[in-house]
Amino acid sequence: MNYRMIRYITGQLLLVEGALMLLPLAVSLIYGETETVVAFVLPILILAVLGTGMVIFKPKNQTIRAKDGFVVVGLSWIALSLFGCIPYIVSGLIPNFVDAFFETVSGFTTTGSSVLFAENFARLWSPESAAVGMRGVFFWRSFTNWIGGMGVLVFVLVVMPQQDMKSSRLVHVMRAEMPGPKVDKIVATVKKTSAIMYGIYTFMTAILVILLLFGGMDLYESLCSAFATAGTGGFSIWSDSMISYGGGANVDFCTWVIAIFMFLFGVNFNVYFLVLTGKLATALFSEELIWYTGIVIGSTAIVTYNIYSIYGDFAESLKQAFFQVSTVITTTGFATADFNIWPSSSKALLLLLMFVGACAGSTGGGMKVSRLVIAFKSAVAEIKHMGRPRQVSRIRFEGKPVEKDTINGVFAFIISYIFIFFGSFLIISVVDGKTIETTFSSVAACINNIGPGLGDAGPMANYAFYSPISKLILAFDMLLGRLEIFPIIMLFSPSVWTEK
């Protein structure tokens, strides 16, 4: 275990987090929110001192092995959340530590589950509360979705000095943080790969901001909405999520724009890289993209048919269906309707989509389309093998044979996922005693990084009713879901911490 390199990279992360807080600090200053300035100045100073102390001595041995990559990612995300919740506590928006930690983890993991009530949002927009406005704090809340979407350590790899990138083994850090059954460099170096990913991510976010400005939102609203959409996090700055868009925008236009971009951010970013390099046919015929698109189209058609009797208009039904299917499968968590009151078949389908998730290498959560496709093909191959034991068949995905290690990793993930899911479900059921619908969907929404569940945790409700123990378990589930289990689980393995 290379402790010094882990300390060094974690220190870089703390410095980056402090630098990122300068943006919401600027928002507070622009809007004259002097009461909340200290909410950012304090953590910035703490992060600057700690981060500098951790990076001042550069390790001679800069090798990062696989287990080092998992550990640095797990520790960094916990540290990121612990320091990221300070603005909520100091500003008074969320004075309770457990609640603030829950909200911060939800933001960085792009889950979107919240403990805030309508009165908290009134402090943002109510004219009579302008003296203690929360625009800077709510900006930070949405910004955490964007930071966590592509992965903050991927960003650290972009901004680290070139001399700190000597070891090609830093790819283990990227693999541990990026979602999917297998993540590789798309160009020769980790730094360039990270830069390309963030370049695409930033460009798409900028396009979305411009479109939302055309839709009638002001710059602050457009930025916050774009951050939450791009990161597929779903933190809205309005108390009713995306139902009214604050009343100042073209609702239909903004609904379609956000729904389409949620779908686009759920696509594997390697597809966009292929498009940029002129390999359009390869991109469009990506097997994962075809499955993902087919699931979205099929689910949208079923839900549209199912809810037509509620809206009585095909265009409105299609809009609501596509938006909710897109927000659930990409695990964004926005809402333009209370799907908690939709027919049971629609709710069941949306619940199923919570587990499917978006594509590998996207900003979306869930189990990932590619992982489920590989698992399905493996099951089919095993059944065929039982009937013809001597027949040897190779599982192929994206036109390439799938390595045995990848298949084993897929099933290891699924088994671990099931144990953690039902373990969390049982503990929270005992601790809080809510209905099965509420508890089951809450765990599903958190471990799949979706946000809203069903029942008491529906899209028009929040998670404030849960006990502190349950909130910590759900926050733990969010981290497990975002980092795909193993980076967090490995922190509790004694063998990982040995020097050998």
Which residue, among 148, 152, 141, has the nearest Cα to 16 in the 3D structure? 152
What is the pLDDT at residue 341?
A: 85
What is the pLDDT at residue 187?
A: 45
* Rounded-to-integer distance, Cα 264 and Cα 279, Å: 18
Query: Across-strand partners of 396?
Result: 401
Tokens coding 257? 């724009």
Tokens coding 194? 């990270």
* Rounded-to-integer distance, Cα 219 and Cα 201, Å: 19
Query: Across-strand partners of 400?
Result: 397
* Rounded-to-integer distance, Cα 413 and Cα 326, Å: 24
SS3 track for the chain: CCHHHHHHHHHHHHHHHHHHCHHHHHHHHHCCCHHHHHHHHHHHHHHHHHHHHHHCCCCCCCCCCHHHHHHHHHHHHHHHHHHHCHHHHHHCCCCCHHHHHHHHHHHHCCCCCCCCCHHHHHHHHCHHHHHHCCHHHHHHHHHHHHHHHHCHHHHHHHHCCHHHHCCHHHHHHHHHHCCCCCCCCCCCCHHHHHHHHHHHHHHHHHHHHHHHHHCCCCHHHHHHHHHHHHCCCCCCCCCCCCCCHHHCCCHHHHHHHHHHHHHHHCCCHHHHHHHHCCCHHHHHCCHHHHHHHHHHHHHHHHHHHHHHHHHCCHHHHHHHHHHHHHHHHCCCCCCCCCHHHCCHHHHHHHHHHHHHCCCCCCCCCCCCHHHHHHHHHHHHHHHHHHHCCCCCCCCEECCEECCHHHHHHHHHHHHHHHHHHHHHHHHHHHHHCCCHHHHHHHHHHHHCCCCCCCHHHCCCCCCCCCCHHHHHHHHHHHHHHHCCCHHHHHHHCHHHHCCC
Could you tell me if 150 and 106 are in contact, meaning their C-beta atoms sit under 8 angstroms apart?
Answer: no
Q: Tell me the pTM.
A: 0.90
What is the pLDDT at residue 173?
A: 57
Residue 171 backbone dihedrals phi, psi, to 5 degrees: -60, -25
Angle CA(351)–CA(243)–CA(212) in degrees, nearest 5? 105
Rg of the chain on CA atoms, in Å: 22
Could you tell me if 346 and 300 are in contact, meaning their C-beta atoms sit under 8 angstroms apart?
Answer: no
Tokens coding 319? 């809009």
From residue 181, how far is each of 326, 374, 409 by CA, in Å? 22, 9, 7
Residues of the chain with pLDDT under 50: 130-131, 162-163, 165-168, 183-188
Burial class (CB in 10 A: 0-12, 13-18, 19+), 427: middle
Could you tell me if 367 and 414 are in contact, meaning their C-beta atoms sit under 8 angstroms apart?
Answer: yes
Could you tell me if 15 and 43 are in contact, meaning their C-beta atoms sit under 8 angstroms apart?
Answer: no
Tokens coding 85? 């919740």
What is the pLDDT at residue 92?
A: 92
